[in-house]
Structure 1
Amino acid sequence: MVKKLVLILGIILVATYANAQVLNMNDAQAAAKKENKLILIKFSGSDWCGPCILLKKTIFDSSEFQSFANKKLALINADFPRQKKNQLSKEQQEQNDKLAEKYNPQGDFPFLVLTDANGSILKTWNGYDKKHTVEDYIKEINSYIK
């Protein structure tokens, strides 16, 4: 019984998080304009960047951040995996490369970019700081929401 409940909760959590994800900037901008949201671009190396993995686990996978993101953000995960088994489609790689050219030309990982619906940069975060909590991120992002 408990295992079934945990499985159901896990599926709900994944479905909720998946709904917040947007695959490209055009979709993110359309959603942001339509729903009065900001855009958060997450540059990560999901299978090689230790700080990226920690940031995902401690911040982005938290139910508190996911709930906030569903209401206030259009999320783009610009991932740059290295392992062959984790490679993205050619189209997704090209989209991520274009995002990196514009928003992360220095190639930092992890790197977060908060933009308005038009793609203008409002705030950036570079790296992973253990002391930076979910509440800190939410408070900072909320300061840009009108």
Structure 2
Amino acid sequence: MSNSLSLLKQFFILFSIAFVMISPALAKPPVVHDDIGKTLNVARKKDKMGVFILGTTTCSHCRLLKKNIDEGEVSITADSFVMADLDSNDPTVISAFFKQFNLGRNVEWKIPYVVITNANGKVLVTWNGGKKAPAVEKLLQEAKSKAGLKS
């Protein structure tokens, strides 16, 4: 009896470890919108943070960021975020992006240009240019902390 109990304990421990390891992979990425206003409204209604990515489909850093989101390498998930994927080739989108988030147009900027907001649209963190997953995660944790959320 004690031998089978020991096997059961070992199985439970291994199952628990496996669950902890795959849990991040089970988290879904947020639904992606292509409109700043709609994304802000959804964030407000659902009490979620907003992530706004200004970039292009041909930008390697933009594609890497989206891949890291889709594969759970960074903690931009549907349970905490709504997301906008905005076209940096469209001058009206660029103008709306900089105006909405009160960003200086005269500064040098690169894509992806990312803005993280709280549920009310207040800018918490911004960055532009390519970042690897650990650097993005650090910025996300900073934004969550500013929003009063647990990491």
- Structure 1 length-normalised TM: 0.62
Q: Distance in 2 between matches of 1:131 and 1:20?
A: 20
Identify the residue that residue 127 of structure 1 maps to in structure 2: 129
Q: What is the aligned residue count?
A: 118
Is 126-135 or 35-44 further displaced after alignment? 126-135
Q: Residues 10-43 of structure 1, C-alpha deviation per residue, up to 9 Å, x if partnerless?
A: xxxxxx54x6212322222222222111111011
What is the distance in 1 between the residues matched to 2:110 and 2:65?
Answer: 14
Distance in structure 2 (CA, Å) of the matches to 1:123 and 1:74: 15
Q: Any conservation in 2 of the 1:21–1:77 contact (CA below 8 Å)?
A: yes
RMSD after superposition: 3.0
Contact 2:48–2:82 (Cα < 8 Å) also in 1? yes
- The answer for the alignment partner of 2:54 in structure 1 is 43
The answer (yes or no) to whether the contact 2:124–2:147 under 8 Å persists in 1 is no
Instruction: Pick the structure with greater CA Rg.
Output: 2
State the AA in 1 paired with 2:70: D
The CA deviation at 1:129 is 2.6
- Paired position in structure 1 for 2:10: none
CA deviations 1:79-117 (Å, max 9, x no partner) are 235xxxxxx8xxxx7445422454453442111101223
Structure 1: distance between partners of 2:144 and 2:43: 15
Identity of aligned residues (%): 24
Q: Which amino acid aligns with 2:51?
A: L
Q: Which has more helix, going by share of residues?
A: 1
The answer for the alignment partner of 2:110 in structure 1 is 108
Select which of 55, 59, 63 maps to 2:65. Answer: 55
1: CA distance, partners of 2:63 / 2:110: 14
Equivalent AA in structure 2 for residue 62 of structure 1: E
Of structures 1 and 2, the one scoring higher in RCO (CA 8 A, sep 6+) is: 1
Query: In the aligned structure 2, how far is the partner of 1:39 from the partner of 1:108?
Result: 20
Aligned mate of 2:85, from 58, 61, 77: 77
Residue 52 of structure 2 aligns to a residue in which SS? strand
Is 2:104 the partner of 1:99? no
Cα offset, 1:143, TM superposition: 1.4
CA distance in 1, matches of 2:73, 2:145: 17
Structure 1 residue 128: Cα displacement: 1.6
Q: Supply the AA of the counterpart residue of 1:63.
A: G
